[in-house]
Structure 1
């Protein structure tokens, strides 16, 4: 059975026309892409004098418009900002030593003259003396040393803030140098954010440095040559450039979290390798069907043109369907309220478009230019029988047993997902050895009042009433909450609350619920990490049904348009739910329960970052449907020619199995490259998506799909009569 002679004439459609156009002007297409990629990388890295993408990134809680954000906004409006303070921790000296007192007072005078600095605090500057209660917060709970706090104008931003902080850091280093034996470290929330965004850039480079070379070597083995292997890699590099450029554009429209860059770039890289592999393989297949065993040197230009037109028509159609399914899954993220999820969804949609354009234009142009080199090792057609047809035949002998065995494995892997606990880490995102994480860990241990309270209550009332409220806080988990009230302005007060277990512990989470349930007779807003997580998870629960309904409905319609069946889309949806549940269970087992800490070099925080489940589900669903479309496109193609169900499944798996497993292996390599990064949230994303792809391409596509299609037989293609007529009129078929 060969492809070329049996295809209906689709010359009037747009895709073969696009393929023919590329075939006539391949060099023009490559040059245009080269200029676009150079411009994209230059713009994203700031090479043209503009602000780079990484300078525009932010980091923080995945905020939603809830009580936590409202309370923070009230404080910022009143001149309070967590990012406006910069701290110095000094060790190795006594705070009361004459050298310390003289150095601090001299430095404070200089610091106050720096534009943008509002105030300077240190125990040596307290009017009532170092031993007074007012100075206690700036003295360590154990050991020697002292702390100093420099406060910037909250309205100071951008280059002005950078200049001011650089001058402050210089003067603080001089302060430490002026005290014999002293050692000092500086930090603050702004520095922590910078450390996280900087680590994103390093992880991105490290991930690509691992993924691209290893992917290239694997593709050399898959294709049996450097030329064929290089084409998807060139496309992947173009995709990375397009991804970074689109993210830079989005950064001017919406706030981008630091993790968005890694997640979206990885998606673009994986999709482009998938689509490039599919396109190059299909082109070789089409060209071989026309050459019929003749030497590669005798391939005519007309045969190349016909092959590329057919490739863009057939493989391009699969790419378009696949891209739409991935876009649908990412579109579900736009339903959620959190700006981080919206940013990933929006930027991800643009990256899918870039990957589709690369597969439909750049990779075909490269195929035309290297056509004869692609078949240099032989022009014989691949046999209709092989490893995957034999695997399908074996599965057909015991379909029920295969289905039960696969479901048991997936169910076992999914079990830990029922213990899922979400968190929203700050410094814990960084490795333990990171300077800013060490700074904040030391700050929490030695200066607990400076490190910030576990919870705060913004109270719209004068200080006196806020103090009464702070003295009568409820009992939570057997502990009476202790609050400290301070004045913000005449009508606004702030109550700081410390709870056992830290700002994201169970007691802090229960305290948020208790404080929100037991309000005083004046307006209050509970803020802090636990409050932000409470708002975020509440928003997820509210929006998730709508997102799932949107993705499920759109996927069902798209697969129906492709197959003309109601059964196949429903089955695909159910199988994806099971496999994604298994991948989420593996993430919980590894990161929340702390298994493989030594192997993957991370420290478990006892929970999963709050955005990870949605990212694994959305991206994993898109990639799973990617391989579903790869397989179904071949099965449907054969079924439309009149091949019976069993033969269509066996032949379809044989023709697509090598592409699916190779593409999945390459995507797993890409995601594994980013597991080598040091940022916790990137490790979790990498592991989750690598496992999702691995399970889908092996257990689901190679075993579960053929087993269920054998069991259902002709029922696979069932649809109500009305829908069959609608599909005959509007369906997208070969």
Structure 2
């Protein structure tokens, strides 16, 4: 183990450079991490990352995006409206009316306000038919009244903020002048800001939970505070780098707030996993290269141990990072901005974790070389709990295979009933005031909420009106057909018409709304039109995802197959690994449906089921889960292949490979579960779903699959594990990846 190769590899030479100059590497990383946090948090004069995030909208090619673009081209769109609900208002009180009109006039005079809507402002006052949507009769003379303030679309962000502050004061004066018993205000912008802010809070809480617990586990794994702290320092560096990378991406593509949680927690988990592997191997190499106690370790031995660590553990880290990056790359095939943003950001974070593991962590190891050595080696004997587990499995492999597959298939069955959604206010807990306001407005004043489905067109008004009167009311799910409204003209001079169709549902993604969108796509209006609304947007997302999924799957499957073949020289092992991953992911997806869609464990996990699973989270969980599963596959196969290439029989190689890698796999999985468990406590539903799904995927993969199903299937296959056509064996002999 201490011999020096005649021609050291590039990784070994790099490791020796790091071991020779560890202070320089650490200092460079310290500067980079400080700059990353400063940029992400806006401490250097730039806009902070969280101020550049959005939430809740799925933007995919299709009718919904076309409708939105057409509305914006005509000068409409946006969500710069403030709404106030006043309770217990007497609209017949002349004195209160006069005071209210004065307050309304002041609101109209605020710079940046385009219009104010209130029952008293209609020509015939509250008795005007057009005022009816703004009034909800109560007991006696008391009524609930809504006021809507719209802003000029040309306002800058700063001007809009100033105008909203003055309007907030004006609305308070209006409520007082109207002698309302109570009032509440809100807007879609407030909702989006609340979701983004809650995501930020969830991320801090999650990392605040994950890091300390991870550190305690690392202390137990390594038997010392210093060695345990090295991967944690690397993880902190990864968080800073991830946030800075996301800030850069936010200037190129739209980023959803939930992306931040997902990619930063991925970087955090990978850095801890890779750090575990690198620190363990460094201690092993340092012990093997020394001939005395801790005080006898020389600088030359530290440099040599660092080189050997990266030459061996570094290869595993690189291979693992490539497999995870392949899963992230699959997301780039989807046309949805959210998916591509997640894929690009995820790949950048994987690269960051790789850089930390192959530079910062070994440099820290070199600086603290004598301290880790005092606690002993990381060597493991050939006999232990994992070898005994493998021997037990090998005595009845078919029974194990049958039992494990039965469990996984049973868990996967609920996924056949998967129903997706794209929540808005439902992302927040029911106690959130922003969610309560939006839901109250939709329930008490349904005519003021956006129609569930909208028809946007540049066709002549007469043609649209004729269709609205004769055919639209016959469509399935339609309860009310709105008036044809001209919202403006495009730069080309085309007048844009909008027709709202209401289904009577509070939920814009209810069954009737979905059925209506499906009917409109099957039998489109007799004029060129785009179908807008959340149900239409979700349909576009689902359609585009299904269209692009085969290309993404082909990339991930072929690339993963090629990498595993180069590693093992076998065709059977890569195919088996891919099949087992599919079964494992199906089980975690089924459990996700059972918990969140069916509403089980609502009390335990503190959430309110919306009867569906977030559409984007399903795709992300499959991509991230696949990458993490292959990560553990690499850890296990690397040991088994190494032993088999030395001439060890397959059954013994499986038993010894599981014994020598089982501790690393179990520790890595435990740490990753801890990291993702921090986000199970999230208040934002999408973040909570992600945390639960990935925890389930990791637990199932690291226990049932890696510890039971892999050794059982390899035992049954025997020497057939290593089969490949002769021409592929020649390719592996020439290009295979070996130690």
Matched residues in 1 for 2:375 and 2:599: separation?
A: 49
Matched residues in 2 for 1:290 and 1:322: separation?
A: 26
CA offsets, 1:194-250, max 9 Å, x none? 111111101111111111111111111111111111111111111111110000000
Question: Alpha carbons of 1:103 and 1:232: their partners in 2 closer, same or farther (altered >3 Å)?
Answer: farther
- Aligned position for 2:135: 139
Deviation at 1:61, TM superposition (A): 2.1
Residue 718 of structure 2 is aligned to residue 718 of structure 1: no
CA offsets, 1:353-372, max 9 Å, x none? 00000000111111111122
Deviation at 1:479, TM superposition (A): 5.0
- Aligned position for 1:468: 466
Contact 2:473 2:481 in 1 (8 A): no
- Greater Cα shift, 21-30 or 94-103: 94-103
Contact 1:509 1:531 in 2 (8 A): yes
Contact 1:227 1:373 in 2 (8 A): yes
- Greater Cα shift, 73-82 or 345-354: 73-82
- Aligned position for 2:580: 575
- Aligned position for 1:246: 245
- Aligned position for 1:148: 147
Deviation at 1:513, TM superposition (A): 1.4
Matched residues in 2 for 1:625 and 1:194: separation?
A: 37
**Local SS of the residue matching 2:54:** coil
- Greater Cα shift, 638-647 or 536-545: 638-647
Matched residues in 2 for 1:180 and 1:507: separation?
A: 40
- Aligned position for 1:351: 349
- Greater Cα shift, 173-182 or 75-84: 173-182
Question: Alpha carbons of 1:10 and 1:622: their partners in 2 closer, same or farther (altered >3 Å)?
Answer: farther
CA offsets, 1:364-422, max 9 Å, x none? 11111112211222358432221111111111111111111111110010000000001
Matched residues in 1 for 2:646 and 2:161: separation?
A: 66
CA offsets, 1:527-575, max 9 Å, x none? 1111111111011111111110110001001111111111111111111
Contact 1:458 1:493 in 2 (8 A): yes
- Aligned position for 1:275: 274
Contact 1:334 1:345 in 2 (8 A): yes
- Mapping of 1:331-410 within 5 angstroms? 331-379=329-377, 381-410=379-408
- Greater Cα shift, 381-390 or 201-210: 381-390
- Mapping of 1:69-468 within 5 angstroms? 69-98=65-94, 100-140=96-136, 142=138, 144-291=143-290, 294-379=292-377, 381-468=379-466
- Mapping of 1:412-561 within 5 angstroms? 412-473=410-471, 479=477, 481-488=479-486, 489=488, 491-501=495-505, 502-561=507-566
- Aligned position for 2:674: 669
Matched residues in 1 for 2:91 and 2:33: separation?
A: 56
- Aligned position for 2:25: 29
Residue 602 of structure 2 is aligned to residue 606 of structure 1: no
Matched residues in 1 for 2:222 and 2:98: separation?
A: 72
**Local SS of the residue matching 1:719:** coil
Matched residues in 2 for 1:671 and 1:94: separation?
A: 53
Deviation at 1:492, TM superposition (A): 3.1
Deviation at 1:142, TM superposition (A): 4.8
Tell me the TM-score normalized by structure 1: 0.96
Unaligned runs of 5+ in 1: none
Contact 1:487 1:494 in 2 (8 A): yes
Deviation at 1:493, TM superposition (A): 2.3
Deviation at 1:715, TM superposition (A): 1.4
Contact 1:462 1:487 in 2 (8 A): no
Matched residues in 2 for 1:723 and 1:8: separation?
A: 31
Aligned with 2:620 (options 615, 620, 627): 615
Residue 612 of structure 2 is aligned to residue 589 of structure 1: no
Matched residues in 2 for 1:269 and 1:380: separation?
A: 23
Matched residues in 1 for 2:93 and 2:373: separation?
A: 81
- Aligned position for 1:642: 647
**Local SS of the residue matching 2:83:** strand
Contact 1:462 1:492 in 2 (8 A): no
Aligned residue pairs total: 729
Contact 1:675 1:686 in 2 (8 A): yes
Deviation at 1:474, TM superposition (A): 5.5
Matched residues in 1 for 2:564 and 2:34: separation?
A: 37
**Local SS of the residue matching 1:83:** coil
Question: Alpha carbons of 1:480 and 1:441: their partners in 2 closer, same or farther (altered >3 Å)?
Answer: closer
- Aligned position for 2:636: 631
- Greater Cα shift, 645-654 or 242-251: 645-654
Matched residues in 1 for 2:327 and 2:474: separation?
A: 40
Deviation at 1:597, TM superposition (A): 0.4
Deviation at 1:673, TM superposition (A): 0.5
Deviation at 1:636, TM superposition (A): 1.9
CA offsets, 1:77-128, max 9 Å, x none? 2222141322111123324434543343233333333332211111111121
Residue 43 of structure 2 is aligned to residue 47 of structure 1: yes
Matched residues in 1 for 2:310 and 2:661: separation?
A: 17
Contact 1:467 1:484 in 2 (8 A): no
Tell me the TM-score normalized by structure 2: 0.96
CA offsets, 1:300-359, max 9 Å, x none? 222222221111111110010000000000100000010000000001110000000000
Contact 1:269 1:670 in 2 (8 A): yes
RMSD of aligned Cα (Å):
1.8
Residue 692 of structure 2 is aligned to residue 694 of structure 1: no
Matched residues in 2 for 1:236 and 1:380: separation?
A: 22
Deviation at 1:679, TM superposition (A): 0.2
CA offsets, 1:460-497, max 9 Å, x none? 33444333322234578975543112321484322211
Matched residues in 2 for 1:512 and 1:476: separation?
A: 13
